[in-house]
Homo-oligomer: A and B are copies of this chain.
Amino acid sequence: MTLTRTDREILKLMQQDATITLGVLAERVGLSPSSAQRRLQKLREERVILRDVSIVDPRKVGRPVSMLVEVELERDRPELLPPFMRWVTETPEVQEAWGTSGRGDYTLVITAQSVEHFDALADRMMELNRNIRKFTTSVVLKTLKRGLAVPVD
């Protein structure tokens, strides 16, 4: 799908605030409301917009602790990789996970109620995934920025 300048403006606005009305959105990008709506629909159909979600403040729901975890897996046990990926996907405390080059094989962002809860989660992780050679955790002291917004220029 080829994105027009207008599509990109729509994406920019919707990444800032998805509760914006079609009328306001249309006005800001110089379209009629129905055209803006059709563009939006197309962007969703084509999976440029994957979904719309509410962003919840972790501190307000009892999860003030974040951890960054670098996991190093045993490379000679490839049959244990899919279970590890499934564990990552299915564990809601794992907010984000990337497989990377460099030191650690995988980096996880984890949200927890406390360091004790995190510790229990890390224990479960080690038990359920016997291919974890080691992992290093960094405690998040300050969250400077959090978001999934992508520049669209």
Contacts and interface: CB of A to CB of B under 8 A. Distances in A.
B145 A94 contact: yes
Interface residues of A, number: 64
A48 B63 contact: no
Stoichiometry (number of copies): 2
A68 B101 CA distance: 10
Interface string A82-118: 0001001100111111111111101100010000000
A6 interface: no
Given A11-B61, A88-B144, A145-B96, A137 B50 contact: no
B95 A61 contact: no
9 contacts: A16-B51, A48-B57, A52-B52, A68-B107, A94-B145, A95-B145, A101-B138, A102-B137, A146-B148
